[in-house]
Amino acid sequence: MSRSTLAITDLLEDYLRSNTLRESPILAELRAETASHRLAKMQLAPEQGALLTLLLRLIGARRYLEVGVFTGYSSLTAALAMGEGSQVVACDASEEFTRIARAYWHKAGVDDRIELRLQDALKSLDALLAEGLAGTFDCLFIDADKPAYPAYYERGLQLVRQGGLIVLDNMLLGGRVVSPEPGEPAGVRVVRQLNRNLRDDERVECCLLPVGDGLTLLVKR
């Protein structure tokens, strides 16, 4: 046990990845292709993918919803983790980014498990609620535009079942959430306030982990 979280150096990160990850070849291939993308920093870290896989299997997830697809690493991770007969609903507004995702879903043979809703994510979430799907998802993963996180969370909380899991990425924002700075982006202020709100939200159990750029795990009560 330790009284504080260990700082992760580049060498320790390499050790962690080489000694613990069981990343499938198709996920590794997608991650390598995304590394050359102009927005590669939006890529989910492989250790985050490993944690997501473990959590989905622990709760026996069969229905997974995500906001923010990018090139498809998280949705592909979920589809592979949950196996045949599962369903992924993936919300994004970018045809450019999701073109890569769709190619890899097909290559992995899981495209029949993934429904892409290609429009503003709030519209997609509202549509799911209107379709009577409240309380039907086992897990929600949010990794999209930060100013809209509170709205995604509130809608997602309705869509996830009791005892279901909500995961929010980038909740540390490279450490910028620690203290306000003049002229900081609106998204930083939103995430900083959301961290406080989630800590006190009695509707969920909450844990913020320093994995990747900060991963908040919530269980709906």
pLDDT digits (tens, 9 = 90+) for 137-146: 999 999 999 9
Looking at residue 104, its pLDDT comes to: 98
Q: What confidence tier does 3 reach under pLDDT thresholds 50, 70, 90?
A: confident
155 in any annotated domain: yes
1 in any annotated domain: no
The share of the chain scoring above pLDDT 90, in percent, equals 95
Residue 22 lies in domain: 10-220
85 in any annotated domain: yes
4 in any annotated domain: no
Mean pLDDT of the chain: 96
The answer to whether the beta carbons of residues 80 and 24 sit under 8 Å apart is yes
The answer to whether the beta carbons of residues 155 and 125 sit under 8 Å apart is yes
> What CATH number does the domain containing 113 carry?
3.40.50.150
CB neighbourhood size of 47 (10 A):
18
pLDDT digits (tens, 9 = 90+) for 36-88: 999 999 999 999 999 999 999 999 999 999 999 999 999 999 999 999 999 99
The answer to whether the beta carbons of residues 216 and 198 sit under 8 Å apart is yes
Question: For the chain, what is the domain count?
Answer: 1
2 in any annotated domain: no
Closest CA to 66 of 142, 136, 164: 142
- CB under 8 Å to 205, separation ≥6 — which residues? 218, 219, 221
pLDDT of residue 2 exceeding 80, the answer is: no
pLDDT of residue 1 exceeding 90, the answer is: no
The count of residues in the chain is: 221
The share of the chain scoring above pLDDT 70, in percent, equals 100
66 in any annotated domain: yes
23 in any annotated domain: yes
Residue 161 has φ and ψ, to the nearest 5°, of -70, 165
Residue appearing with tokens 């320093």: 210
d(CA 145, CA 33): 22
129 in any annotated domain: yes
d(CA 70, CA 97): 5
Closest CA to 63 of 156, 153, 155: 156
Mean pLDDT of 24-34: 97
Q: What is the pTM of this model?
A: 0.96
d(CA 52, CA 147): 23
pLDDT of residue 4 exceeding 90, the answer is: no
